[in-house]
Amino acid sequence: MRPTIPLSLGRLSGKTALITGAGSGIGEGIAKFFTKEGANVVIADIAKDGGERVEKDIQQSHFEGHGRALFLKFDCTTSRAWKDGLKFARDEFGNLDIVVNNAGTTYNKKSSVEVTEAEFDKIIAVNTKSIYHSVVEIMPYMAEQRRGVFINTSSVAGFKVRPGQVFYGGTKGFVNTITQGLAAEWGPYNIRVNSICPLRSPTALLEKFSGVPDTPEERARFSKSVPLQRMGDVDAIAHAAVYLASDEANFVTGINFPVDGGRLAKYIVSIPNCGKVSNRYCFLRFDSVLPTTMDLEKEPPEHTEEARSVVFLDDREEYDYLSSKFDTKRRDKLLRKIDWRLLPILSLFYLISFMDRANIGNAKLQGLEEDLNLTPGEYNWALTIFFFPYGAFEVPSNLALKFTKPSIWIPIIMLSWGLVMMCMGWVQDYSGLLATRFFLGVTEAGLFPGVTYLCSTWYCRYELQFRIALFYCAASLAGSFSGLLAFGIGFMDDIIHDRIYGTYALSFSLPTTIKILGYTAAQAQLMTIPVYAFASIMCVLNAWVSDRLGRRYHAVVVPYLIGIIGFIICITVDPVEKPGVIYLAMFFIATALFPTTPSVVCWMANNLSGQWKRAVGMALTFTGGNLIGGVVGSNIFLVRESPKFHTAYYIMVAVFGAGILVATFKLWLLIATNKKRNSLIECVPEERLAILDEETKSLGDRSPFFRYTL
What does the mean pLDDT of the chain come to?
77
What string of H, E and C letters represents the secondary structure of 16-47? EEEEECCCCHHHHHHHHHHHHCCCEEEEEECC
Around 463, how many Cα atoms within 13 Å sit in the side-chain half-sphere? 21
Within 10 angstroms of residue 493's Cβ, the number of other Cβ atoms is: 11
Closest by CA to 16, choosing from 104, 102, 87, is 87
pLDDT at 574: 81
Give the Å distances, CA to CA, from 31 to 17, 19, 413, 437, 519. 9, 7, 69, 82, 97
208 within domain boundaries: no
Rounded distance between C-alpha atoms, residue 44 and residue 82, angstroms = 10
Rounded distance between C-alpha atoms, residue 292 and residue 460, angstroms = 8
268 within domain boundaries: no
pLDDT at 245: 96
Catalytic residue positions, numbered: 168
User: Are residues 496 and 623 located together in one domain of the fold?
Assistant: yes
User: Are residues 378 and 250 located together in one domain of the fold?
Assistant: no
Rounded distance between C-alpha atoms, residue 492 and residue 193, angstroms = 85
What string of H, E and C letters represents the secondary structure of 110-139? CCHHHCCHHHHHHHHHHHHHHHHHHHHHHH
User: Are residues 636 and 525 located together in one domain of the fold?
Assistant: yes
User: Are residues 357 and 341 located together in one domain of the fold?
Assistant: yes
- CATH number assigned to the domain comprising residue 106: 3.40.50.720
55 within domain boundaries: yes
User: Are residues 239 and 283 located together in one domain of the fold?
Assistant: no
User: Are residues 441 and 341 located together in one domain of the fold?
Assistant: yes
Closest by CA to 70, choosing from 84, 86, 94, 89, is 89
Helix H or strand E encompassing 388: helix 387-392
Rounded distance between C-alpha atoms, residue 207 and residue 380, angstroms = 73
Give the Å distances, CA to CA, from 634 to 127, 389, 597. 73, 15, 18
pLDDT at 690: 61
pLDDT at 293: 33
pLDDT at 302: 37
The whole model's pTM is what? 0.51
User: Are residues 320 and 369 located together in one domain of the fold?
Assistant: no
User: Are residues 412 and 303 located together in one domain of the fold?
Assistant: no
User: Are residues 63 and 172 located together in one domain of the fold?
Assistant: yes
7 within domain boundaries: no
Helix H or strand E encompassing 312: strand 312-313
Domain range for residue 318? 275-326
Q: Give the gyration radius of the chain's Cα atoms.
A: 36
- Residue 194 and residue 252 in contact, taking contact as beta carbons nearer than 8 Å: yes
Q: What is the mean pLDDT of each run of 10 residues along the chain (710 residues)?
A: 52 94 92 94 94 92 84 95 95 95 88 89 94 96 95 87 82 93 95 92 66 74 79 87 94 92 64 34 35 34 35 49 65 85 84 71 66 77 80 84 86 86 81 86 85 83 83 63 49 37 38 52 63 84 88 90 90 81 85 84 80 74 65 66 77 88 91 85 66 64 79
The 3-state DSSP class for residue 153 equals: strand
142 within domain boundaries: yes
pLDDT at 254: 94
The 3-state DSSP class for residue 518 equals: coil
The 3-state DSSP class for residue 73 equals: strand
User: Which residues lie closer than 8 Å to 599 by C-beta, 6 or more apart?
Assistant: 465, 542, 543, 546, 552, 555, 556, 559
Backbone angles phi, psi at 60, to 5 degrees: -70, -25
User: Are residues 247 and 293 located together in one domain of the fold?
Assistant: no
1 within domain boundaries: no
Beta bridge partners of 192: 149
Helix H or strand E encompassing 445: none
Rounded distance between C-alpha atoms, residue 161 and residue 277, angstroms = 8
Backbone angles phi, psi at 192, to 5 degrees: -95, 140
11 within domain boundaries: no
Closest by CA to 600, choosing from 472, 498, 438, 444, is 472
User: Are residues 302 and 340 located together in one domain of the fold?
Assistant: no
**The last residue of a domain, from among 311, 326, 341:** 326
9 within domain boundaries: no
DSSP E strand stretches across 154-311: 191-198, 256-259, 268-271, 275-278, 281-282
The DSSP symbol for 13 reads T
Give the Å distances, CA to CA, from 337 to 73, 306, 534. 55, 9, 28
The number of folded domains in the chain is 3
- CATH number assigned to the domain comprising residue 641: 1.20.1250.20
Pairing mode of beta strands 16-20, 40-45: parallel
The DSSP symbol for 576 reads T
User: Are residues 659 and 620 located together in one domain of the fold?
Assistant: yes
The DSSP symbol for 100 reads E
The DSSP symbol for 374 reads -
